[in-house]
Amino acid sequence: MTEITDFDALREAMAENSGQPEGPARNARAEELLTAAEKLNVPLAVIEALGHQLKVYNYSSEKGKMFVPFARLLRMWDERPEDFDEYETHSLHWVFKWVSAGMLDQPHVPLASIEKWLGEMEHRYRLAGYSERAVRSAEHSVAAHVGDVARAERAYAAWLAADRDSMADCHACELHGQGWWQAEQGRDAQALELWGPVLEGEYTCAHEPHTALASSLVPLLRLGREEEARAGHLRGFRLVRSMESMRGAYAEHVEFCALTGNEARGLELLAERPAYFTDDGQPQSKLDFMSVVALLMDRLTVLGLGDRQVPGPPGREWTARELAAHAREVALALAARFDERNGTTHVSERARARMARQPLVGRLPLGVRSVRPVPPPARPTVPVPGSGQPDLPSLLAEARRLSDTLRPGAVEAWAAAAEAAGGAGLDPRDRAEMADHEAMSLGPEGAELFERAAGLYTEAGDPGEALAARARGAYVRALAGDVEGAVVAVTGPYDEVLALYAADGTGIRQTASVVMSRARILTRRAHGGEGDGAALAEAEAAVREVLALVEGRAGEDVRLAARVAEARAMLGELAGLAGDLERAAELFARGAAAFVAAELPWYAVEYEARLASLAHHLGDMAEAERRCGLPWSTAGRIWRRPDGPSCTFSSPRSSAAGVRPWRPPGTPWRPPTGPTRRASRRRSGPGRDSSSAASCCGRGGGPRPRRCWSRRCPN
């Protein structure tokens, strides 16, 4: 290990250590770096090293160790505040909040000391000119912990009323804490409303949306929003899986399994974290963990599996019945220590209630676990004579580029690659993608070809993409009119891909493709339900599952961004069917804006046209005219292709098809005839007019499907 000889090297080493996984190794390195800092004879170096040590302790199972470096920092501040720069001054005041929370989590710290600390925190914040918002938040935590509901409600109100300043927790953490309190008081709907911006990725931080996803699981189940809960579990567990400090959130995922008939998966989660049974550095999270272990073991015992061997604390073998008794004993002993400190029985009562919870769902399928995919074999190249034309590898690369970025011409590019290959020199992956994109060009006639593509993806070692192709095949059944058959057909791929995703056997793109196909099918069924409330509710839950899976995780991935945009617009469609025109307009606008932000303005056209329809229906002709003009010129510019005729749109200003009259709730949207979104050329063939337009969004010469079935095209 390189010796630290100057301040810059120390800072570089601390930055490197910050990027390491949470746990004892990172903590030990922070201790070494503090020793090195002390040898530099630079006060600010010691201050920064102490701050680094405090931070890594806070984000680990050794949270109780942070009090020592903080006490030293506070003493240095009181003695020589001039040694602290602006950043370290802010950081010192910031970690007051960590310390107050850390004291609350340690039952050996007297309640009187915690209350005294709150007063000290308030005094120092006032001297520094900070708002009381963070202080009232900390007071709320103390009151909620001891069960003083009246004081907690007062502190909660004062917390929200105080100004937000630089010392307030980040938006994500604040919303999580506020939602937790609402759920704790039985106000699940309010909790989920508060958590919404966090779950949707609008606000994030080091531990959010991880904890909000975990906290939302039981409230979602209690409200009957089972599909959102399932998506939240699968998404959230992947976030907390590698973070040692998140034992409490991890416990909530185990609890979800116990309450949804997924006891076997709960055991798998316990087996992944044996240290959680014994780590004592954070007693509150250990209490949470052991409480849900007892809950899960009780469920197994009730199911007649009490003598089954289960993962437990190291050093011996455990049956479910034995571990239930052990976990209950540990949890109640910890709860008793907190209650003795607090002078109440609240913590014990809460632990007992949690251990006594009954299943909220008889069985919420997560699917069957599958083996991880093997990587596809290397693709052989096919030599092409020097004809001046692009060779096959170049054609394949261009087709994949267009597909991956949702650019126009992807289907044609794949057709060109297939024609150039002539069936020779292609591995299963190449043939799978060619079959997949040919199926996309066929509309309802492509169902069999999607199945062929699925088989080739399986042969290529990509089970997730195989399931996505099968789901696309199910969707085209719905387009052909067999909606109920499509619902049945998509169920298998849906259950399987969720299980595969949970086992890290496929990626979020493939999973989102299947979940979106299911949402499209259920939305199509809602259109045919003539305002059926149950069909609308099921479709909305399916669309929200797409958002729960993808939102906040798109980053630079344009395909995931398109999923989010489409899901927003689909919610608008469902709101329109339910008669909520204002909500429909808001969601169509959000969907269209998201497509434009992702540099996919052609997909915004449909929703801008629907916004124009709504404005026209409501008599706002100026807004209708404005909406008509927004996407057309932008999309038209982007769609002009150098290799053939421009892709054009019918302008709403000159076409009655552009502004569709608003239809009553329950009436399906009727797309206009002709190419309103995009047109593409297709090779001539028997029974085909060589001039007819076709694309992955539908076929020219007649009414087009409302939405595309392609995994590449979100519409």
Per-residue pLDDT at 125:
92
Which is more confidently placed, 599 or 534?
A: 534
CB 184 within 8 A of CB 215: no
Domains and CATH numbers, the chain: 392-699 (1.25.40.10)
Give the C-alpha separation, 170 to 201, whole Å: 13
User: Cis ω on the peptide bond leading into residue 444 (within 30° of 0)?
Assistant: no
Per-residue pLDDT at 625:
66
Mean residue pLDDT across the chain: 80
Q: Report residue 578 as tokens.
A: 């339910």
**What number of residues does the chain have?**
715
Per-residue pLDDT at 531:
57
Q: Find tokens 């963990």 and name the residue.
A: 289
Which is more confidently placed, 350 or 577?
A: 350
Q: Report how far Cα 385 is from the mean position of its chain's Cα atoms.
A: 48
The Cβ-side half-sphere exposure at 166, using a 13 Å CA radius, reads 10
What pLDDT, in 10s, does the model give residues 231-266? Answer: 889 888 988 988 888 999 999 999 999 999 999 999
Per-residue pLDDT at 637:
40
Helices within 86-148 (DSSP H only): 86-104, 111-128, 133-146
Is residue 184 over pLDDT 70? yes
Q: Find tokens 């040692």 and name the residue.
A: 244
Q: What pTM was estimated for this model as a whole? A: 0.62
Per-residue pLDDT at 591:
84
Give the C-alpha separation, 573 to 483, whole Å: 18
Helix 111-128 and helix 133-146, axial crossing angle in degrees, nearest 10:
170
What pLDDT, in 10s, does the model give residues 418-464? Answer: 777 776 667 788 778 877 887 787 777 778 889 888 988 898 889 99
Quick check: helix, strand or coil at residue 87?
A: helix
Highest mean pLDDT among 430-434, 547-551, 628-632, 652-656: 547-551
Highest mean pLDDT among 190-199, 438-447, 665-674: 190-199
Give the C-alpha separation, 604 to 606, whole Å: 6
Strand partners, 703: 673
Highest mean pLDDT among 87-101, 315-329, 631-645, 688-702: 315-329
Q: Read off the DSSP letter of residue 450.
A: H
Average pLDDT over residues 630-646: 39
Q: Read off the DSSP letter of residue 318.
A: E
Any residues with CB less than 8 A from the CB of 303 and at least 6 apart, and which?
263
Q: Read off the DSSP letter of residue 101.
A: H
Residue 92 one-letter amino acid: L
Highest mean pLDDT among 348-357, 654-663, 676-685: 348-357
CB 152 within 8 A of CB 159: no
Is residue 655 over pLDDT 50? no
Q: Report residue 663 as tokens.
A: 């239809």
**Nearest residue to 159 (alpha-carbon basis) of 140, 181, 179:** 140
What pLDDT, in 10s, does the model give residues 401-420? Answer: 877 777 777 777 767 777 77
Give the C-alpha separation, 10 to 24, whole Å: 20
Q: Report residue 128 as tokens.
A: 């520094």
The Cβ-side half-sphere exposure at 321, using a 13 Å CA radius, reads 8
Strand partners, 699: 694
Residue 84: which pLDDT band, with cuts at 50, 70 and 90? very high
Give CA separation, 384 vs 146, 387, 400, 434, in Å. 76, 8, 19, 19
The Cβ-side half-sphere exposure at 478, using a 13 Å CA radius, reads 30
Phi/psi for 217 (5° steps) reads -60, -55
Strand partners, 205: 208
Which of 302-311, 379-388, 454-463, 506-515 has the least mean pLDDT? 379-388
Query: Around Cβ 483, how many Cβ atoms within 10 Å?
Result: 18
